[in-house]
């Protein structure tokens, strides 16, 4: 077994702190990665605090993992020692169901193995995430990372990047489409960059007055401060796609009314409580309300290659792991510009 250093939550209410645990020795088809950086996703906070009611402790969060390969099993063909590698939200799946066969491993019909707060496919070995110095992952669930981009700023692509890229592709965003993005945090800022890179006219809806200049710098063409009265006047019926990244309860109906006929709103954020949906904005125009979960392995690699080609990375604030609890508090206040990334060297500090 491999002795591993990490940061863990021991229960839903205490701060994260140092934690030692063991990972398996790499098998024939496994890759061992020394983790350089791990992004901090709002899903980490939801799960650390058991807001979705499914948390298992101790929990080592983190599913935006990048680093360097330090060992490969005998049958590994796509990676060698010294290569850059990435791991997102999935570390395994059944690999045989219809969803897996289609490269939609996130929808594995037997339940995929999540990178943390889950188990391996044996359904008993707990998985531990990227707030740690190393990880062992099946080659089939390991992503290729281009050396062209800043490695720390690539980390958030493994969740925030793919989660926003996937719906843009699914709804076939193209030049001239009108795309709305709700919430400018980790997912929101990637949605703005990616939608703008596809030629869309992007409107950012934010509850934070101070984010307009950033939104425009990131590629948004319009900014709507959602908290002011009449903010939505004159916007009705014009959006092809609205991507909702908000992590807390909020009114969905006001956004549904902004879609064009047969336009779609896709929920990415996962507030802990359900939201009421009114039938009227949906029936008036056969509009769709949908959701989307990260992306499968082929699409995640496609997104990483797309970002390498276009020079797209996340805007990050690098922190030592000892600052993780403060970072969570800042994220809860919407005060993140626009992704915290942990420098894993700090685990030795
Ligand atoms: P984040 O960086 O904390 O950003 C969330 C943003 O939502 C904030 O910056 C803020 O933007 C807005 N917001 C926060 N509280 C709000 C409130 N009370 N009312 C209105 N707006 C509020 O979080 P993230 O990492 O982007 O994650 C966002 C959500 O997506 C989380 O629920 C996370 O679990 C979920 N998620 C889903 C998937 C998936 O596969 N579907 C993947 C990753 C994450 P403004 O200041 O601009 O208003
Ligand atoms: Zn995430
Ligand atoms: Zn499957």
Instruction: Express each pLDDT in 62-83 by its tens digit.
Output: 999 999 999 999 999 999 999 9
Q: Which CATH class is domain 2-159+313-348?
A: alpha beta
Q: In testing the pocket of ligand 1, which one of 224, 269, 299, 331 has its CB within 8 Å of the most ligand atoms?
A: 269
In 3D space, the residue among 115, 133, 138 whose CA is nearest the CA of residue 3 turns out to be 133
Band (229; pLDDT cuts 50, 70, 90): confident
Task: Please give the Cα distance from 36 to 135 (Å, whole number).
Answer: 11
In 3D space, the residue among 180, 216, 177, 183 whose CA is nearest the CA of residue 198 turns out to be 177
The pLDDT value given to residue 349: 77
For the CA of 294, the closest atom of ligand 1 is 40
For the CA of 160, the closest atom of ligand 1 is 43
DSSP string covering 258-309:
TEEEEEEEEE----SS-----HHHHHTTT-EEEE--S--HHHHHHHHHHHHH
Query: How many CB atoms lie under 10 A from the CB of residue 119?
Result: 16
Helices 297-310 and 160-170 pack at an angle, to 10 degrees, of 100
Q: What angle do CA 260, 262, 267 make, to 5 degrees?
A: 85
Is 163 near ligand 1, meaning CB less than 6 Å away?
Answer: yes
The pLDDT value given to residue 234: 86
The pLDDT value given to residue 312: 98
Is 270 near ligand 1, meaning CB less than 6 Å away?
Answer: yes
- Burial class of residue 176 (count of CB atoms within 10 Å of its CB; 0-12, 13-18, 19+): exposed
Is 285 near ligand 1, meaning CB less than 6 Å away?
Answer: no
Cα atoms in the Cβ-side hemisphere of radius 13 Å centred on 219:
21
Task: Please give the Cα distance from 13 to 50 (Å, whole number).
Answer: 9
Is 46 near ligand 1, meaning CB less than 6 Å away?
Answer: yes
Q: Are 89 and 114 spatial neighbours (Cβ–Cβ below 8 Å)?
A: yes
The pLDDT value given to residue 339: 98
Listed in order, the ranges of the chain carrying CATH 3.40.50.720 are: 161-291
Architecture of domain 161-291: 3-Layer(aba) Sandwich (3.40)
Evaluate if residue 340 carries a pLDDT over 90.
yes
Q: Give the residue with greater pLDDT, 334 vs 309.
A: 309
pLDDT digits (tens, 9 = 90+) for 191-203: 999 999 999 999 9
Q: Are 311 and 154 spatial neighbours (Cβ–Cβ below 8 Å)?
A: no
Q: Take residue 303 and report the two structure tokens written for it.
A: 């997104």
Listed in sequence order, the residues at least 6 apart from 143 whose beta carbon sits closer than 8 Å to its beta carbon are 85, 86, 87, 88, 158, 297, 300, 301, 304
Residue percentage of the chain with pLDDT more than 70: 100
């Amino acid at each position: 077994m491999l002795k591993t250093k990490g940061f863990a939550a021991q229960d839903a209410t205490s701060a994260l702190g140092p934690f030692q645990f063991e990972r398996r020795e790499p098998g024939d088809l496994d890759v061992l990665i020394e983790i350089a950086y791990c992004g901090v996703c709002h899903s980490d906070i939801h799960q650390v605090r058991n807001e979705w009611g499914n948390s298992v402790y101790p929990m080592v969060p983190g599913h935006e993992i990048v680093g360097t390969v330090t060992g490969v099993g005998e049958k590994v063909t796509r990676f060698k020692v010294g290569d850059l590698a990435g791991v997102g939200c999935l570390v395994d799946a059944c690999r045989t169901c219809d969803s897996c066969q289609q490269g939609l491993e996130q929808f594995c019909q037997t339940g995929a193995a999540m990178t943390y707060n889950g188990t391996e496919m044996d359904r008993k070995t707990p998985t531990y995430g990227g707030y740690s110095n190393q990880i062992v992952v099946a080659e089939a669930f390991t992503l290729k990372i281009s050396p062209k981009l800043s490695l720390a700023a690539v980390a958030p692509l493994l969740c925030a990047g793919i989660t926003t890229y996937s719906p843009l592709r699914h709804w076939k965003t193209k030049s001239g489409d009108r795309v709305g993005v709700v919430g400018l945090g980790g997912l929101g800022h990637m949605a703005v960059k990616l939608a703008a890179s596809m030629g869309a006219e992007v409107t950012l809806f934010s509850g934070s007055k101070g984010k307009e200049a950033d939104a425009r710098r990131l590629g948004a063409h319009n900014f709507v401060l959602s908290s002011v009265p009449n903010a939505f006047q004159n916007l009705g019926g014009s959006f092809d796609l609205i991507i909702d990244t908000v992590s807390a309860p909020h009114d969905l109906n006001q956004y549904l009314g902004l879609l064009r006929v047969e336009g779609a709103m896709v929920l990415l954020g996962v507030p802990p409580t359900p939201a009421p949906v009114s039938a009227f904005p949906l029936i008036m125009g056969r509009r769709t309300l949908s959701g989307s979960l990260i992306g499968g392995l082929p699409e995640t690699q496609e997104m990483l290659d797309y970002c390498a080609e276009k020079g797209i990375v996340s805007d990050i604030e690098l922190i030592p792991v000892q600052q993780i609890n403060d970072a969570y508090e800042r994220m809860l206040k919407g005060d993140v510009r626009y992704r915290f990334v942990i420098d894993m060297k700090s685990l030795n500090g």
